[in-house]
Amino acid sequence: MNENPKKKFIGTLPQKELLKLYLKHVNGPKAKFFRSLGLGVIPGERDGIKFKTLGGLRAGDEPLELYNCRSSGGVFNLGHRNPRIIQVLKDALDGGLDLGDHMLLSEWRALLGKKLAELMPPGITKTTFGVSGGEAIDTAIKFSRAYTKRRGCISAIGGYHGHTGFALLTGDPDFKDPFLWNFPEFKQVPFGDADAMRKAVTEDVACVILETIPATGGVLIAPEGYYPEVREICDDKGVMLIMDEVQAGLGRTGHFWAIYGGMYHDENVIPDFIVCGKGMSSGVYPLSTCSYKPFIEKEVFKDDPFIHISTTGGSDLGCAVACEMLEIQSDPKFLDHVKELGTLFGNGLKEITQENSDIIKEARGRGLMWGLEFFKEEDSQLGMLSIIKEGVLLNYCGNKKDTLIIMPPLIVEREELEDIISIIKMGIHKLKSLKN
């Protein structure tokens, strides 16, 4: 009888031994951090919108079973090991695909490029592929500088676009100062402040880059009219507008693109670039995309078509998987499902806010991307731990630690979401009981 393949890949050693290996050979400070929170657990079996840990929080405890409402920032939009995605990956391997050669042309990059062009806001028809969101952000900034022949870049305070080169330069000081990575031409302004943006965008600025909904910044919602005004400011100065839809895109708001209808009903803003990562992987194969208007390509690649390459970006296997993901998530019925459950989730979180107005300041979000802002950072952190221990994985926003970010997989069903809301409510109730 064949051995159960799960036993070969999940639970290879006891959780306690794996934690020691992680501490010794991977990232000791990270392992110590999670242990200090009482969350020294490792994910094991995973399926749909849940996963189980290899062991309990303490020796002898039962493993946890958690709703994954972190979704790894959108990596698991379709849940863990989505059957349609897994089948496509298996079929692609059996059908003869592998990584492909990044220097050569590719059947599946062509097919995925066409699919993306059909789904993009009008006029965005070109795509350059990468592996991570940070790499795709680097690409957008590189191309903006090459096209405009300018160096400046404006981003939002509290925003986050990745840990790689140009992407890191757009972030807050806590991320880049330890690496001595500060260029004076990269500047930040308050998010949602159009007047500050207008003052910052000068003739030496190549691009403005914004997350449509800043996730690490606190699930912030821009005031109505902000994005059309930013588009106008960029047009006035000949500046490229880059929208980072790594977390808010691909249907997360109930619209396929947050910047194109997903924020306010009549705001269909068309940027020069749309960048995607995380969810492009479908939870199984790393892929990121930098999509842009064709006039940019003419300038960037005019002298050398190999001026920008990515060895494993846009692999044939990854592109085949992403095509299936786009087919699923762009379906109008799928998007209607996200809108319907997003309304249910938002109402539930607002009700929790009203019931706990002594510690929770606000619930805000769009679709299935929501933030709970507490009055005190301490309550946010303790609330997160309490909710996780009740059965819902979520995390706080790195640049706004008083806010929890909650992103259920987009395939969540009504009954599951109602259970998630109940668990969040219970976690906050237990937090308040401890405080009292």
CATH of the domain at 322: 3.40.640.10
Band of residue 297 on the pLDDT scale cut at 50, 70, 90: very high
Please give the share of the chain, as a percent, with pLDDT higher than 90.
95
Is 210 inside a domain boundary?
yes
**Tokens 């699923």 belong to residue:** 328
What is d(CA 184, CA 152) in angstroms, rounded to the nearest whole number? Answer: 8
The torsion region of residue 228 among left (phi > 0), alpha (psi -120 to 50) and beta comes to alpha
Alpha-carbon torsion 181, 185, 186, 190, what sign? positive
392 with 409, same domain: the answer is yes
pLDDT tens-digit profile of 407-436? 999 999 999 999 999 999 999 999 998 877
Q: Which two tokens stand for residue 195?
A: 């007047």
Task: Read off the amino acid at residue 122.
Answer: P
Is 367 inside a domain boundary?
yes
Task: Read off the amino acid at residue 35.
Answer: R
143 with 246, same domain: the answer is yes
What is d(CA 426, CA 421) in angstroms, rounded to the nearest whole number? Answer: 9
pLDDT at 304 over 90: yes
Q: Which two tokens stand for residue 425?
A: 């409510």
Task: Summarize the confidence of residues 65-77 as an average pLDDT.
Answer: 98
Band of residue 23 on the pLDDT scale cut at 50, 70, 90: very high
Look at residue 435 in the predicted model and tell me its pLDDT: 76
Task: Read off the amino acid at residue 246.
Answer: V
List, in order, residues 6 or more apart from 196 with CB less than 8 Å away. Answer: 189, 190
311 with 228, same domain: the answer is yes
Largest CA distance in the chain: 70
pLDDT at 6 over 80: no
377 with 274, same domain: the answer is no
- Residue among 98, 115, 105 at smallest CA distance from 291: 115
Task: Summarize the confidence of residues 153-162 as an average pLDDT.
Answer: 97
230 with 190, same domain: the answer is yes
Task: For residue 116, give the 3-state DSSP assignment.
Answer: helix
Task: Summarize the confidence of residues 386-395 as an average pLDDT.
Answer: 97
283 with 160, same domain: the answer is yes
Judge whether 197 and 230 are in contact, CB under 8 Å.
yes
Band of residue 244 on the pLDDT scale cut at 50, 70, 90: very high
**Tokens 């269909």 belong to residue:** 268
Band of residue 250 on the pLDDT scale cut at 50, 70, 90: very high
414 with 362, same domain: the answer is yes
Task: Read off the amino acid at residue 105.
Answer: L
pLDDT at 264 over 90: yes
CATH number for the domain spanning 422: value is: 3.90.1150.10
pTM of the full structure: 0.97
306, 329, 352: which is the final residue of a domain? Answer: 329
145 with 189, same domain: the answer is yes
DSSP character for 407? -
294 with 370, same domain: the answer is no
Is 310 inside a domain boundary?
yes
The Cβ of residue 350 has, within 10 Å, a number of other Cβ atoms equal to 17
288, 306, 329: which is the final residue of a domain? Answer: 329
Look at residue 3 in the predicted model and tell me its pLDDT: 66
The residues facing 11 across adjacent strands are: none
Is 7 inside a domain boundary?
no
pLDDT at 22 over 90: yes
- Relative to beta strand 360-366, strand 400-406 is unpaired
Look at residue 2 in the predicted model and tell me its pLDDT: 58
Burial of 81 (0-12, 13-18, 19+ CB in 10 A): middle
Look at residue 434 in the predicted model and tell me its pLDDT: 84
105 with 28, same domain: the answer is no
Task: Summarize the confidence of residues 99-116 as an average pLDDT.
Answer: 97
Look at residue 60 in the predicted model and tell me its pLDDT: 81
329, 353, 382: which is the final residue of a domain? Answer: 329
Task: Summarize the confidence of residues 375-392 as an average pLDDT.
Answer: 97
List, in order, residues 6 or more apart from 148 with CB less than 8 Å away. Answer: 206, 207, 238, 239, 240
Look at residue 66 in the predicted model and tell me its pLDDT: 98
**Tokens 């109008």 belong to residue:** 332
Is 4 inside a domain boundary?
no
Is 9 inside a domain boundary?
no
What is d(CA 405, CA 409) in angstroms, rounded to the nearest whole number? Answer: 13
- Residue among 101, 156, 153 at smallest CA distance from 316: 101
Judge whether 363 and 351 are in contact, CB under 8 Å.
no
Number of structural domains the chain divides into: 2
361 with 372, same domain: the answer is yes
DSSP character for 63? P
Task: Summarize the confidence of residues 6-26 as an average pLDDT.
Answer: 93
Give the range of the structural domain holding residue 269, as residue numbers without chain letter.
Answer: 83-329
Look at residue 1 in the predicted model and tell me its pLDDT: 46
117 with 191, same domain: the answer is yes
Is 1 inside a domain boundary?
no
What is d(CA 63, CA 137) in angstroms, rounded to the nearest whole number? Answer: 38
Is 6 inside a domain boundary?
no
